[in-house]
Amino acid sequence: MTPPILFGLTLLFLWEWVVVGFGIPTINLLAPSAIGTALVRYADTLTRDFIWTFLHEALLGWLLGSGAGFLVALVADRIPFLRRGLLPLGNVVSALPIVGIAPIMIWWFTYDWPSKTAVVIAMTFFPMLVNTVAGLASSGALERDLMRSYGASYWSTLTRLRLPAAMPFIFNGLKINSTLAMIGAIVAEYLDGPTIGMGFRINTQAALSQTDIVWAEIAVAMVAGSIFYGIIALIERAVTFWHPSYRRA
């Protein structure tokens, strides 16, 4: 952990030195010290915005989108026709821009948090589906033949062999979705959000040239997204400790 921390502190120092030393206007770039001051000054507002965006939209959408993608992947694994049809569709939907999805979801699910959650669900569903389907197909042919030789049923093979083998893929989908969830929620709020939330605050305060609170919101989003990703990575390490990437010589 020491090299990443030192590298990050070095970047912050260089950032501060460039902004202060060259006298860059705050409207263009804010120094880390000024962002830290804004974090303290607007702590209450930042906390309310974060709770609204993360709990009402990002986390809920992540849970529903990832859960739905996982369950549909199990069904698609049993129905090859469905699997062959859904995977190309997933590639198409993944290429759709958020600015195109968000207005449609707002028309369907009102202007409040349900539409923002729907955007997150749409963004996280297919990455989870694709990764889970790939993971279920990753178990070796010899292992599957051994399970069949023991007379194991489909569900027994799924729970004892194929799902454990798919765990690295499943957690990869969860980690990808952890970043997509925050991005989707903030962008959806930015386009048309309620009078609260991180995206709404960035939109309105940027229009008023209040760059300090804008940078503070961005800093909170970065830290929250990193912590969210890190928690999932720690759970993955505990669940997939047997994977070769975690083995030590």
d(CA 123, CA 62): 9
pLDDT in tens, 63-73: 999 999 999 99
What DSSP character marks residue 114? H
DSSP 186-203: HHHHHHH--SSSHHHHHH
Contact between 214 and 205 under an 8 Å Cβ cutoff? The reply is yes
d(CA 32, CA 49): 21
Nearest Cα to Cα of residue 136 among 187, 80, 188, 91:
80
Residue matched to tokens 């297919």: 126
SS3 label, residue 45? helix
Q: Which residues of 168-184 are buried (b: 16+ CB within 10 A; e: fewer)?
A: bbbbbbbbbbbebbbbb
Domains in the chain with CATH codes: 32-240 (1.10.3720.10)
pLDDT given for residue 249 in this prediction: 45
SS3 label, residue 140? coil
pTM check: above 0.85:
yes
CA dihedral 19, 182, 130, 135 (to 10 degrees): 80
d(CA 182, CA 224): 9
pLDDT given for residue 202 in this prediction: 93
pLDDT given for residue 105 in this prediction: 79
Total H helices, total E strands in the chain: 12, 0
d(CA 23, CA 65): 45
pLDDT given for residue 245 in this prediction: 65
pLDDT given for residue 109 in this prediction: 78
pLDDT in tens, 140-151: 777 777 788 877
Which stretches of the chain score pLDDT less than 50? Answer: 249
